[in-house]
Structure 1
Amino acid sequence: MAVSLKRLFSRSIAADPDAVGPLAPLSPRSTKRKMMLVTLASTLALVGAVSGAYYFAMRPVTLRIAVGPQNSDDLKVVQTLTQSFAHSQVRLRPLQTDGATASAAALADGKADLAIIRGDLDVPKIAQAVATLRKNVAVLWVPPSVKGQKAGPKITKIQQLAGRRIGVVGRTPANVNLLKVILTQYGVDTSKLDIIQFPANEAAEAIRNQKADAYLAAGPVNSKITSDAINASIREGASPKFLAIDAAAAISQNFPAYEASEIPAGTFGGSPARPDDEVKTISFSHHIVARKGLSEATVAAFTRQLFAVRQTLLSEFPLAAKIETPDTDKDAAIPVHPGAAAYVDGEEKTFLDRYSDYIWFSLMGLSLLGSVGAWFASYLKKDERGNNSTLRERLLDMLTAARHSDSIDELDGMQSEADTILRDTLQCFEHGAIDNGSLTAFNIALEQFHNAVADRKTLLASMPQNLHRAGVQLRATGAS
């Protein structure tokens, strides 16, 4: 039964316009609309949270990378990569050091996120491999003797270096350690050697001035520093003698940082070719490492960028071609970083892969919070609903009383009270304390009450005044 509140409300006011004050206009918002607004607000909050998480995950990240020394090939590579990554997700900020040892220390001390280190040095425990920057080979050679100048016994093999003066290209102690590892394998007493180190930019001049009997250089096969040092060893067209490290395999067994390798014939050019045949040697790597605990997603993105630009850098920096993926084996000398391993193995996670669980749990959490909020709101409106039920029962009681009332004043008083009940009921509906079904039931009771009051007033108005008084007296006498 459809009942118009507006019609009932108008009738109540018309019956006694002075019974109650002016009523506040009913808000057009219904409970359904409120729920729609709450749902919309929750959706917007969720979208905002997901958007914020996406921005947080994809925002540019700057990594500090320790590299050195000054003017080294490693520093040049990093500077080139820094320029290439200027507008990428992962960017670089070079931290110049005195060399690989200092770079490793910077990583261990937390001053850098990435570092370029030598694999044959002490690797920090927190270092994990991201890429192999380049492989280096050890080159041992003996300059040819000068005609007319007295020379010592001819050196043709490594054992004959005992007691000789050996020059090492580069100031880093790591190259001296490399020389000692080689000589120790051949039983040469390194304590009786005269080892001289030359800065890379002074090595060629020192070699031309015959500062040592033999020399060692370590660097990429195509290293310009090594090539210049060997070319400075040429005497009157005679090429230097290259000393093969035949025990390279044994050295690699004793020192996992080293690998058996070869120097191809003609690597250092010249005619005749230098060397004129393949020479056995040992090699070691320069690695790009990241500190343990650095974000897996960040390292994966850096690794992806690194290999994406490698080919484009070849024209301006050929050393970029030497960059290789890290060793992902569990027994690798330097454990691989999980982010780099994910890129190499093709298991790099997307944004949804990384955050789908968080998004799902957030949705579940919002749903739970919505349910708890609805229950709490319902609990807070419990008293209001109880009070409204009491008012409805009062209205039904007045309905019964109105049908037997003999006083128009009494009927007017009950109608004024009904107006107050109507006001409270409409407020309860607006607050969401009662639903449409409860409001419909109240409308039916209110209409019946108004009908009863109207019918009773009509009946009382049609009765003669004396009959009306007699009826009142009779009722009074009967009551006594």
Structure 2
Amino acid sequence: MKLSLKRLFARSMTGGLDPAAPPAPAPPRSPGQQTLLVAIALVLALIGTVAGGYYFAMRPVLLKIAVGPANSDDVKVVQTLTQTFAQTHGYVRLKLVQTDGAVASAEALSKGNVDLAIIRGDLDVPKNAQAVATLRKNVVVIWVPAAKGKKKSGAKITKIAQLAGHRIGVVGRTEANVNLLKVILQQYGVDPGKVEIVQFPTTEVAEAIRNQKADAYLAAGPVNSKITAEAIAASAKESGEPTFLAIDLADAIAQNHPAYDAADIPAGAFSGSPDRPDDEVKTISFNHHIVARKGLSDTTVAALTRQLFAARQQLMAEFPLAAKIETPDTDKDAVIPAHPGAAAYVDGEEKTFLDKYSDYIWWALMALSATGSLGAWFAGYLKRDERNTNSHLRERLLEMIAQARRSDSVEELDQLQSEADTILRDTLRCFEDGAIEQGALVAFNIVLEQFHRAIADRKLLIATMPQNLQRAGAQFRAMGTL
């Protein structure tokens, strides 16, 4: 049975309203409407909270990275990565903080002034540093220029053990390379105090070789280092092809100093001649690392590592040094422990947004469901009085049907009609508030139909009765009430 609220109003209200009367003011919002508005507000608030949380979790993060010295390859790599991250709108952005070198970068990280740093693995590693990636692997190259002029009469140096009493030139101003040379000399039983160590800036190496300021030279950098290749080429130009000294005790050095590894320089590694060197040369290597401070978020570091290796693929063609970036050592006994975020990326265990927050989302939905159920129960509890009242009104309407069938007065029937109008208003208000359901409204409609029929039938009967019978019936009823 389809129920029309408009029809209910039309049937019950036509006799009791003045068409000429001004329209009634709009009634205030019912409790049901207020409940609906509150529910909509809560849903919108929940959606806003989720959206805000997602934006907060995924907004770009700016990390400061310490690197130096100025104009070094490391600075160029970081500058390129910074531009790439900004152009690709990555989750992680970089801000370069230039330092005097790896030692100063490590100190900046140790003090918490930066989030990331590029450090040498053979230096003191800050206690709060954890590896994100290996920026590059460096090899040690020791060579002796060919004898020239008056030095031809001297004994030819072919082994590291023969360096005692000679002058050794170290390429670069960093003290770390001098310490590296001392480690090598000590492994061969050569007292570092019995050699003269001279350092040359990278821009003065060619001049030092030309003026024969040292008997042997040491350089440290990638196998394809431009600085090392130019220094060796300068030696070859001045006095002929140099002699490369093998570090055949590299395994022993690596055993005694975990920061170093045994490595090989392949034949022809240095440009300018296929015989430079003419055979594979054994040496030691060490790494430059990108490290993060220990307290940095796992999510942030995982995103950084992912962006880093994605950018490496894009930069290899235009920036060959980017090809040297490698994943960190995730073994538990690594010299520099891997950051958990970087390890998660390397091991394929990186968590997505849903992985990280699914528990919170699930609990939020459960809480929302429980809140909704509790709210529905509470709303039903508050409306139980309305339901009971409406049930009594329906019973009263049934009584009014019987009363209308006994009535002999039009005035009394009009009073019953007016009371029915009031009951109808209350019933419709209860329906709008949700206190009664559609089925209860249908039942009320059936009773109301019967009431209207009883009123109409009784009025018709009274209209056809003689006036004297009406007066007699009224007097009889009046006597019955005495």
TM-score range, shorter chain: 0.7 to 0.9
Could you say if the C-alpha distance between residues 13 and 276 of structure 1 is closer, same or farther in structure 2, counting changes exceeding 3 Å? closer
In structure 1, what is the equivalent of residue 123 of structure 2?
121
In structure 1, what is the equivalent of residue 137 of structure 2?
135
Could you say if the C-alpha distance between residues 471 and 313 of structure 1 is closer, same or farther in structure 2, counting changes exceeding 3 Å? closer
* SS of alignment partner, residue 426 of structure 1: helix
1:215 to partner: Cα distance:
2.9
Q: TM-score scaled to structure 1, two decimals?
A: 0.82
Out of 156, 181, 189, which is 2:183 matched to? 181
Out of 408, 411, 434, which is 2:410 matched to? 408
Letter in 2 for 1:179: L
- Asked if the contact 1:141–1:243 (Cα under 8 Å) also holds between the matched residues in 2, the reply is yes
> Within 5 A, what are the aligned runs for 1:153-192?
155-162=157-164, 164-190=166-192
In structure 2, what is the equivalent of residue 390 of structure 1?
392
| Runs of at least 5 residues in structure 2 that lack an aligned partner in the other structure | none
Pair 1:203-2:201 in alignment: no
> Within 5 A, what are the aligned runs for 1:287-306?
287-306=289-308
Letter in 2 for 1:227: A
* SS of alignment partner, residue 203 of structure 2: coil
Equivalents in 2 of 1:16, 1:232: separation in Å?
115
Residues 143-199 of structure 1, C-alpha deviations (whole Å, 9 max, x = no match):
455433698766443344445543322122221221222223233334565433222
Pair 1:10-2:14 in alignment: no
Could you say if the C-alpha distance between residues 327 and 5 of structure 1 is closer, same or farther in structure 2, counting changes exceeding 3 Å? closer
In structure 2, what is the equivalent of residue 261 of structure 1?
263
Equivalents in 1 of 2:315, 2:426: separation in Å?
79
In structure 2, what is the equivalent of residue 72 of structure 1?
72
Could you say if the C-alpha distance between residues 271 and 397 of structure 1 is closer, same or farther in structure 2, counting changes exceeding 3 Å? closer
1:121 to partner: Cα distance:
1.6
Equivalents in 1 of 2:439, 2:23: separation in Å?
23
Equivalents in 2 of 1:453, 1:118: separation in Å?
102
Out of 226, 229, 233, which is 2:228 matched to? 226
Equivalents in 2 of 1:325, 1:2: separation in Å?
71
- Asked if the contact 2:146–2:239 (Cα under 8 Å) also holds between the matched residues in 1, the reply is no
Equivalents in 1 of 2:280, 2:331: separation in Å?
30
Equivalents in 2 of 1:16, 1:262: separation in Å?
108
- Asked if the contact 2:145–2:239 (Cα under 8 Å) also holds between the matched residues in 1, the reply is no
Residues 211-240 of structure 1, C-alpha deviations (whole Å, 9 max, x = no match):
444332211122222233334445963444
Equivalents in 2 of 1:476, 1:268: separation in Å?
131
In structure 1, what is the equivalent of residue 109 of structure 2?
107
1:424 to partner: Cα distance:
1.8
- Asked if the contact 2:209–2:238 (Cα under 8 Å) also holds between the matched residues in 1, the reply is no
In structure 2, what is the equivalent of residue 368 of structure 1?
370
In structure 2, what is the equivalent of residue 447 of structure 1?
449
Equivalents in 1 of 2:4, 2:142: separation in Å?
106
Equivalents in 2 of 1:236, 1:32: separation in Å?
97
Equivalents in 2 of 1:195, 1:312: separation in Å?
42
In structure 2, what is the equivalent of residue 429 of structure 1?
431
Q: More displaced, 200-209 or 279-288?
A: 200-209
* SS of alignment partner, residue 230 of structure 1: helix
1:59 to partner: Cα distance:
5.1
In structure 1, what is the equivalent of residue 84 of structure 2?
84
1:43 to partner: Cα distance:
8.4
The root-mean-square deviation of aligned C-alpha atoms, in Å, is: 4.1
- Asked if the contact 1:145–1:235 (Cα under 8 Å) also holds between the matched residues in 2, the reply is no
Could you say if the C-alpha distance between residues 417 and 58 of structure 1 is closer, same or farther in structure 2, counting changes exceeding 3 Å? same
Q: More displaced, 339-348 or 253-262?
A: 339-348
Equivalents in 2 of 1:7, 1:398: separation in Å?
21
Residues 123-148 of structure 1, C-alpha deviations (whole Å, 9 max, x = no match):
23333323222111112334455433
Letter in 1 for 2:159: K
Equivalents in 1 of 2:274, 2:409: separation in Å?
136
Letter in 1 for 2:77: V
1:439 to partner: Cα distance:
1.0
Equivalents in 2 of 1:478, 1:139: separation in Å?
131
Equivalents in 1 of 2:143, 2:165: separation in Å?
16
In structure 2, what is the equivalent of residue 273 of structure 1?
275
Equivalents in 2 of 1:71, 1:219: separation in Å?
15
In structure 2, what is the equivalent of residue 313 of structure 1?
315
Question: Paired residues, what number?
Answer: 479
1:284 to partner: Cα distance:
0.3
1:270 to partner: Cα distance:
5.9
* SS of alignment partner, residue 81 of structure 1: helix
Letter in 2 for 1:326: P
Could you say if the C-alpha distance between residues 185 and 394 of structure 1 is closer, same or farther in structure 2, counting changes exceeding 3 Å? same
Identity %: 71
- Asked if the contact 1:128–1:289 (Cα under 8 Å) also holds between the matched residues in 2, the reply is yes
Letter in 1 for 2:249: A
Could you say if the C-alpha distance between residues 49 and 163 of structure 1 is closer, same or farther in structure 2, counting changes exceeding 3 Å? same
Equivalents in 1 of 2:3, 2:117: separation in Å?
80
Could you say if the C-alpha distance between residues 376 and 174 of structure 1 is closer, same or farther in structure 2, counting changes exceeding 3 Å? farther
Q: TM-score scaled to structure 2, two decimals?
A: 0.82
- Asked if the contact 2:32–2:434 (Cα under 8 Å) also holds between the matched residues in 1, the reply is no
Equivalents in 2 of 1:475, 1:269: separation in Å?
130
